[in-house]
Amino acid sequence: MYGRCVSRTNIDIDDDLIAGVMRRYGLATKKDAVDFALRQVSVVPMTAREMHAMRGSGWGADLEDLRTREGAEVSAQWGEG
């Protein structure tokens, strides 16, 4: 799904949050924790609660268009259609 384009970035991260992620998911390094968290946020679909929390947030995309495009991309990926 993702290419291996990697860049070095210096950022300030809350040590308690990193430690919590490392402990909860058995991760050995801060890098592993950040990679894991970013993958979770970018790949895992939102829960119903998260979607409802966005209600009224000003999101303005055409949902039907997104569904159509995503369906076409999935079909192309799997050699269908």
Judge whether 76 lies within some domain. no
* Containing structural domain, residue 33: 14-45
Residue 24 counted as domain residue: yes
Q: Does residue 31 lie within any of the structural domains?
A: yes
Scored b (16 or more CB within 10 A) or e, 24-48 reads eeebeeeeebbeebeeeeeeeeeee
- pLDDT at position 24 is 95
Is residue 20 in some structural domain? yes
Domain-located, residue 71 = no
Identify the pLDDT of residue 21.
Answer: 94
In a domain, 36, yes or no: yes
Instruction: Provide the pLDDT for residue 17.
Output: 94
Structural domains of the chain, count? 1
pLDDT tens, the chain, 81 aa long: 556 788 888 999 999 999 999 999 999 999 999 999 998 888 878 888 888 887 776 767 777 887 777 666 655 556 655
Residue 41 within any structural domain of the chain: yes
User: Is 68 part of a structural domain of the chain?
Assistant: no
